[in-house]
Amino acid sequence: MGDHATRGREALSGEAPTEEALAAGRRLFAQKVRFLASASDAAALPPLGPPEVAFAGRSNVGKSSLLNAICGQKRLARTSKTPGRTQALNFFALGERLVLVDLPGYGYAKAPKRAAAAWRRLIEAYLRGRPSLRRVILLVDARHGLKASDLEMMKALDAAALSFQIALTKSDLARESELAGVEAAVARELARHPAGHPETLATSAVSGRGIERLRAGLAALAAQG
């Protein structure tokens, strides 16, 4: 997967997406999204197919809510107020063009050690051994910024030479001044990571902030085939 970071950087620039790119995102997500598979171990991963984009982040960061917002559906990905609820890799297909993958949350201190270790092994196996994986969208709570577990994930993605982009979730709950501070801190940290995409997206599943821009980026990745 050594060229994933290069391909990922080419798919999106730090500039605002063009109207054509936004339209491509709208067309992609106008398709019906279907549940493809759920894998609780590496042997259960679905066969390779279209490009995949994985969504990762700390438990309760809002992965399921953001996935639902991107896909324009309320119950595509299961949401819960209980951290650590997602315990498998869940795959969702947009026709034959793109697959979105909801990864188990990490950093949940109350998860049983055996379960947490199993999730970690599963995630590591998937990230290191999945040729169709084009990018990881790393979700970070806009109110709190990067945590130690996020930094560990960023280092792991660097080691796998796997392109990742940070999306700040729940931006509607943060003051603009606080959000600007978090964005600046993230930018400083990203400068240390060769696999990190330079653009950070502020998103909100409630207000819709950043959703169209994220869709446009995902459409660019899907276009790589």
For residue range 167-214, what is the model confidence (pLDDT) as tens digits?
Answer: 999 999 999 999 999 999 999 999 999 999 999 999 999 999 999 999
On whether the CB atoms of residues 100 and 217 are closer than 8 A, the answer is no
The pLDDT of residue 17 is 87
What is the CATH classification number for the domain harbouring 116? 3.40.50.300
Residue 68 is part of which domain span?
4-222
For residue range 44-63, what is the model confidence (pLDDT) as tens digits?
Answer: 899 999 999 999 999 889 99
Could you tell me the strand order of the sheet in which 164-169 lies? 33-39, 89-94, 98-102, 52-57, 133-141, 164-169, 201-202
- How many domains does one find in the chain? 1
For residue range 135-145, what is the model confidence (pLDDT) as tens digits?
Answer: 999 999 999 99
Question: Does residue 11 surpass a pLDDT of 60?
Answer: no
* Summary mean pLDDT of the chain: 86
Give pTM, 2 decimals. 0.87
More confidently predicted of 27 and 84: 27
